[in-house]
Amino acid sequence: MLPMQKPLLCLLQLVLVASTSALASGAGAGDGAATYIVYLNPALKPSPYATHLHWHHAHLDALSLDPSRHLLYSYTTAAPSAFAARLLPSHVAALRAHPAVASVHEDVLLPLHTTRSPSFLHLPPYDAPEADGGGTDVIIGVLDTGVWPESPSFGDAGLGPVPARWRGSCETNATDFPPSMCNLKLIGARAFFRGYSSGGGNGSRVSSDLMSPRDHDGHGTHTATTAAGAVVAGASLLGYASGTARGMAPGARVAAYKVCWRQGCFSSDILAGMEKAIDDGVDVLSLSLGGGAMPLSRDPIAVGALAATRRGIIVSCSAGNSGPSPSSLVNTAPWIITVGAGTLDRDFPAYAALGNGETHAGMSLYAGDGLGDGSKFPLVYNKGIRAGSNASKLCMEGTLNAAEVRGKVVLCDRGANSRVEKGQVVKQAGGVGMVLANTAQSGEEVVADSHLLPAVAVGAKSGDAIRRYVESDANAEVSLSFAGTALDVRPAPVVAAFSSRGPNRVVPQLLKPDVIGPGVNILAGWTGSLGPTGLAADERRSAFNILSGGPSKPLDR
């Protein structure tokens, strides 16, 4: 438990200059301009400038640039004396030659990283005396894709008043997210999109429906409710993992800072969100995102996290989903708690029974009936439109020959496109089911998905056996069955194969990640904007979803 009586910090508020319309009419994608973050040496600020904002304006004025059109953010807390602006290469060269400029770095796009957990971790029940309120009054700032405020996991029943130290708020002019959406659980919600708007959509403006903290991706809602979701009885994903859902700290308050979109998160927006969270008075910062390993001075998360930790804020970040490759982890700064992904003792067993008598165990979250009860369906593999193309083995879009797969179960190799997309491709081609087989690259670890058609995911050994069978028998056939939810699976926890790991390339003397946490097949809140697969064709809706990935971007390949 964090100490709740902290001295109030006199923090400068983030200055948000330049309107969205001004940004749209400023330096654009077609003129060679790009967004850069300029770090100044605060010790060299001339005394005539009353504020850092005035100093930032002066630098742009000296380049004959209109700050109202070119300045995106002026930072004072997360990255002291830094600013983000739209600049041409000639402007960058001039700034780098200035003695007060410490460094200039181009705005980078960082990827998102994507129930049973409390009992598996032997956390006490929420209402037990030793639970100490489940983190009551701890304020967790979540930087992600926003939140879906109607999620029952953001219910505030039983919570007391918002802590007096909280200085944040909900957006007042956000589309489809009035301040009334906030409550005693979701106490803050803001959106930062200037970096994305100016360069993030190839220079396009952010559409009005996205200019709010509302989560149209699902990742932010899932991570926020994994951390601090309220106690919700009768939770499940279409019947799977049914029970009482709760976050790790169900009594904690959530402040959401939308800095990410489906394409990723721009560093200028991340720094702006971290700055606002620091100024608002959060106790914990949670970021399930990060790019490749880079020097700490160039890493926006490391820079902002250092400012946060200096103010007593705990910063927790995901290690990434690029395992099992060595030196694949991100968020390596010593002042960050870097969290890897581990398994739970819960599985969702499913089975593929072949015509040769073999039955292969796998996993699935398909919510319908089994396929072939009492009979079997033809099983096919590599039935593509183009002869000799391996793309059909991967069930890539537009590669399957409908005449060859209609009414049959299709064997698809894992990799390249998302797992649920493969099922969609099979369904669109007329297939009735899918066996999703790991290759040597993905090994034995399988991930459960809520597929659009009956589908079973199997490990590499089973995948190889099924490939041999279908390639040697012209009349290969299979039936698929689904066994619901299995508990007390052993061994657990196990480090997930996809969890990024060391050695630490940035700080070799430092062992990372620091800890692992449940990150495989986690049930938590979900957006009402998408079905559980995240595919546009998925018309199903669920208040909860089961995802894997870190806690980071859902692992989808």
Q: Give the domain CATH number at 23.
A: 3.40.50.200
Same domain, 251 and 370: no
Judge whether residue 5 has pLDDT over 60.
no
Note whether 447 and 306 are same-domain residues: no
Token representation of residue 315: 């910063």
Q: What is the CATH number of the domain that holds 378?
A: 3.50.30.30
Instruction: State the Cα–Cα distance between residues 150 and 158, nearest whole angstrom.
Output: 17
As given in the structure block, the two tokens for residue 186 are: 């979701």
Q: Is residue 489 part of a domain?
A: no
Confidence band, pLDDT 50/70/90 cuts, at residue 557: low
Residue at which a domain ends, from 484, 505, 534: 484
Q: Given this model, what pLDDT does residue 154 score?
A: 96
Residue-wise pLDDT for 241-290, tens only, equals 999 999 989 999 999 999 998 788 999 999 999 999 999 999 999 999 88
Q: What tokens does 212 get?
A: 């709010």
Does residue 285 sit in helix, strand or coil?
A: strand
> Are 130 and 190 contained in the same domain?
yes
pLDDT confidence of residue 293: 79
Residues 204, 257: one domain?
yes
Reported pTM: 0.86
Contact 38, 91 (CB under 8 A): no
Which pLDDT score, from 0 to 100, does residue 254 have?
98
| Mean of pLDDT values over 43-62 | 93
| 220 located within any domain | yes
Which residues, including other chains, have CB under 8 Å from residue 288's CB and lie 6 or more apart?
A: 112, 113, 114, 144, 219, 223, 317, 318, 550, 551, 552, 553
Answer yes or no: is 447 within a domain. Answer: yes
Give the mean pLDDT of 134-148.
89
- Whether the per-residue pLDDT at 17 is higher than 60: the answer is no
CA–CA gap between residue 300 and residue 524 (Å, rounded): 28
Residue 212 belongs to some domain of the structure? yes
Q: Are 469 and 551 within one domain?
A: no
Q: Do 278 and 299 fall within a single domain?
A: yes
Share of the chain above pLDDT 90, in %: 66
Q: Around 232, how many Cα atoms within 13 Å sit in the side-chain half-sphere?
A: 27
pLDDT tens-digit profile of 353-396?
999 999 999 999 999 999 987 789 999 999 988 877 789 999 99
Is 360 within 8 Å of 458 (Cβ atoms)?
yes
pLDDT tens-digit series, residues 445-475: 898 999 999 999 999 999 999 999 999 999 9
pLDDT digits (tens, 9 = 90+) for 464-510: 999 999 999 999 999 999 999 999 888 888 888 888 888 989 989 99
Distance CA 128, CA 120 (A): 16
Residues 197 and 87 in one domain: yes
Q: Give domain status of residue 490, yes or no.
A: no
Say whether both 468 and 538 belong to one domain.
Answer: no
Asked whether the beta carbons of 190 and 144 are under 8 A apart, the reply is: no
DSSP three-state, residue 21:
helix
Domain span at residue 42 reads 1-340+495-557
Residues 283 and 426 in one domain: no
Does 83 reside within a domain? Answer: yes
DSSP one-letter code for 395: T
Q: How many domains does the chain have?
A: 2
pLDDT at residue 496, rounded to an integer: 85
Q: What confidence score (pLDDT) does residue 24 get?
A: 27
Q: Are 434 and 412 in contact (CB under 8 A)?
A: yes
Q: Does 452 share its domain with 527?
A: no
Tell me the pLDDT band of 208, cut-offs 50, 70 and 90.
low
Q: Are residues 237 and 120 in the same domain?
A: yes
Do 163 and 4 contact (CB within 8 A), yes or no? yes
Helix residue spans in 287-380 (DSSP H):
300-309
Distance CA 545, CA 239 (A): 11
> Is 66 inside any structural domain?
yes
What pLDDT is recorded for position 89?
A: 96
The lowest-confidence range among 208-222, 346-360, 415-429 is: 208-222
Domain C-terminal end among 425, 460, 484? 484
Considering 484, 503, 529, which residue would you say is the last residue of a domain? 484
Residue 550 has pLDDT above 90, yes or no: no
Q: How far is CA 26 from CA 66, 68, 71, 85, 271, in A?
A: 9, 9, 10, 10, 21
Q: Please choose, from the candidates 392, 448, 435, the residue with its C-alpha nearest in 3D space to the C-alpha of residue 416.
A: 392
Same domain? For 503 and 551 the reply is yes
